[in-house]
């Protein structure tokens, strides 16, 4: 269904648990020899067992001629490199939901938390990718590292290129690439993070053969995309996906327009439009001119034309085909997944641009095209007064549909999937929001806003979720002695595990099956379109060769 702007609400969590004990670091600063040099970290928490290495470079700065290119290797350094503070955020526009901390184009840094640096067996690893629509966010946004690492895992978080710096496709870039591809630089950054982890994590107490990727919102979407990419082979063994997937909808194509899921154009088309806004026409000097423009000017121009969207695209290399097709054919990475959504995801989005019946029908038309009538029958409105409730309902159900679809795809491929639904509604001034987008991160990070009204229920849920998540990273199965049983997803029983004030198995909402049936028709229609487009592309390439 709709390609949402996957926006994380984790701003309340910023750095609360990630503060480091600098005084302790002065006493006994931890040091590690990485593949390219020695880093000096800091301790966190009340003792000396918690160790963090912050702002560690995993790729060369993507500046100058390296702008809009795949990440390049870090140059080895001599001596000691201090890793005691977070690296710069990647370039982005300010967002009302997110504390603005500034940024730098030199932003490809990661962070590591561990409580077993020098002793004991190697621990499972969780690599976390933040949310923020792939246009905003940064690695220190969600303080998961301290809370989860205390349960016997090594936690890694990382920055990756965003918006027009991370997902900019353009014909000149495609021509320059040996893979005949452009865009998806943010995904390539994430792949580079995983390569760094595979090569270095054993030096930090982690097991390179037990790597779990974990993401929320856009980070979860990206993990789904990575699983669809042949470039991910061998880089991770499990996935945790919170409120975001890629295979239940269509993704923008690099040069083929698709009239569904709010896809207004093509990847290269968006890049050409931004280049035109910047005064750069196609031609032999286009790339040199684009790479010489200050990032501030690029962001400013983009801010004045927000009809131009930058996100992951089907580019023929990183994403060789539509993820929906890859998953339907069982060609995705064959690993166990833990996947789910929150009951009231969209209550915090603040969308108010759909208020009338006519606007609502246009919204559905942009979503499902010629299948709009079916969607309208599933979510009908009679008057303008009906629109807000149904508009919110369809957005909430879209998240749940995506999570269920992911669980069904992996089960169909013979892999274990564990499906959850968060229903916890806090008391106090946010009660009306229900189980909103990003709420689960509060429990996983054990970090709450100062006005949160605590109870035994949230303490219990937090302990439970952190144990489920880390146990899954440990074994590929979230179950452990003393926990409520979480059975793997089964398409026939079609149930999820409710995580709220009540813990237990419940059936998924019947509306999700209606959405699934509509999207099957959309996929069948676009499959024919893709075949036609591929034939035209082959003809053009043959003519070019001759």
Segments making up each domain of the chain, as ranges: 10-538
Structure tokens at 459: 């303490």
Q: Are 251 and 319 in contact (CB under 8 A)?
A: yes
- pLDDT for residue 2 is more than 60: no
CA distances from 141 to 14, 214, 216, 450 (A): 5, 14, 12, 17
Q: What stretch of H or E contains 328?
A: helix 323-328
| 17 has a pLDDT exceeding 60 | no
Whether the pLDDT of residue 351 is over 70: the answer is: no
Average pLDDT estimate for 321-325: 95
Does 454 qualify as catalytic in the annotation?
Answer: no
**pLDDT, tens only, 434-474:** 999 999 999 999 999 999 999 999 999 999 999 999 999 99
Neighbours of 334 (CB within 10 A): 11
The predicted model gives 312-322 an average pLDDT of 96
Assigned token pair, 80: 């000691």
- pLDDT tens digits, 366-417: 999 999 999 999 999 999 999 999 999 999 999 999 999 999 999 999 999 9
414 exposure class (CB count in 10 Å sphere: 0-12, 13-18, 19+): exposed
Q: Which of 276, 346, 271 shows the shortest CA–CA distance to 311?
A: 271
The predicted pLDDT at position 46 comes to 76
Do residues 422 and 118 make contact, with C-beta atoms less than 8 angstroms apart? no
- How far apart CA 296 and CA 302 sit, in angstroms, is 10
- To the query of whether residue 217 is one of the catalytic residues in this protein, the response is yes
Q: Mention the CATH class of domain 10-538.
A: alpha beta
CA–CA distance, 234 with 417 (Å, rounded to integer): 19
**Residue 192: active-site member:** no
Annotated active-site residue in 17, 375, 437, 440: 437
**Catalytic position from the list 217, 220, 248, 301:** 217
Give how far the C-alpha of residue 15 lies from the chain's centroid of Cα atoms, to the nearest Å.
Answer: 19
Give SS3 for 451: coil
* pLDDT for the residue numbered 528: 64
pLDDT in tens, 41-58: 999 987 778 999 999 999
Q: What is the pLDDT of residue 13?
A: 32
**Tokens in use for 472?**
């899954």
């Amino acid at each position: 269904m709709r390609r949402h702007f996957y926006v994380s609400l984790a701003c309340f969590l910023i750095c609360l648990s990630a503060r480091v004990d600098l005084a302790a670091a002065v006493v006994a600063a931890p040091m590690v020899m990485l593949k390219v040099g020695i880093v000096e970290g800091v301790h966190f928490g009340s003792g000396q067992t918690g160790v963090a290495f912050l702002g560690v470079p995993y790729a060369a700065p993507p500046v100058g001629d390296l702008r809009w290119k795949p990440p390049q290797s870090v140059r080895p350094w001599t001596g000691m490199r201090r890793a005691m503070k977070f690296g710069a955020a990647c370039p982005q526009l300010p967002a009302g939901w997110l504390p603005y901390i500034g940024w730098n184009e030199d932003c490809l840094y990661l962070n590591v938390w561990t409580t077993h640096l020098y002793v004991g067996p190697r621990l499972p690893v969780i690599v976390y990718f933040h949310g923020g629509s792939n246009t905003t966010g940064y690695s220190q946004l969600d303080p998961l590292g301290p809370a989860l690492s205390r349960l016997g895992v090594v936690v890694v978080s990382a920055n990756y290129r965003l918006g027009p710096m991370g997902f900019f496709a353009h014909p000149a870039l495609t021509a320059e690439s040996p893979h005949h591809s452009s865009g998806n630089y943010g995904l390539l950054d994430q792949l580079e993070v995983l390569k760094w982890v595979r090569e270095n994590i054993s030096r930090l107490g982690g097991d390179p053969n037990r790597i779990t990727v974990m993401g929320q919102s856009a980070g979860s979407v990206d993990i789904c995309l990575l699983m669809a990419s042949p470039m991910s082979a061998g880089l991770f063994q499990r996935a945790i996906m919170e409120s975001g997937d890629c295979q239940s909808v269509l993704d923008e194509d690099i040069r083929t327009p698709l009239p569904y899921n709010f896809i207004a154009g093509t990847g290269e088309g968006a890049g050409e439009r931004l280049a035109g806004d910047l005064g750069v026409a196609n031609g032999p000097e286009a790339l040199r001119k684009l790479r010489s423009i200050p990032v501030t000017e690029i962001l400013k121009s983009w801010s004045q034309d927000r009809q131009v969207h930058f996100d992951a695209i089907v580019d023929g290399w990183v994403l060789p085909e539509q993820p929906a097709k890859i998953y339907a054919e069982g060609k995705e990475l064959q690993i166990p997944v833990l996947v789910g959504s929150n009951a009231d995801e969209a209550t915090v989005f603040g969308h108010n641009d759909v208020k009338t019946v006519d606007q609502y029908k246009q919204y559905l038309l942009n979503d499902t095209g010629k299948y709009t009538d079916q969607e309208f029958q599933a979510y009908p409105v009679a008057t303008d007064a009906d629109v807000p409730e149904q508009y919110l309902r369809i957005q909430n159900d879209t998240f749940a549909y995506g999570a269920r679809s992911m669980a069904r795809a992996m089960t169909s491929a013979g892999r274990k999937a564990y499906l959850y639904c968060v229903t916890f509604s806090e008391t106090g001034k946010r009660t009306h929001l229900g189980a909103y987008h990003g709420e689960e991160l509060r429990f996983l990070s054990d970090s709450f806003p100062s006005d949160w009204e605590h109870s035994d229920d949230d303490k219990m849920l937090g302990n439970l979720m952190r144990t489920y998540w880390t146990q899954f990273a440990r074994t590929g199965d979230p179950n452990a002695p003393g926990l409520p049983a979480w059975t793997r997803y089964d398409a026939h029983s079609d149930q999820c595990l409710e995580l709220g004030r009540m813990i237990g198995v419940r059936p998924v909402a019947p509306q999700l099956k209606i959405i699934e049936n509509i999207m099957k028709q959309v996929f069948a229609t676009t499959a024919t379109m893709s075949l036609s487009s591929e034939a035209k592309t082959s003809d053009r390439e043959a003519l070019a060769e001759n």
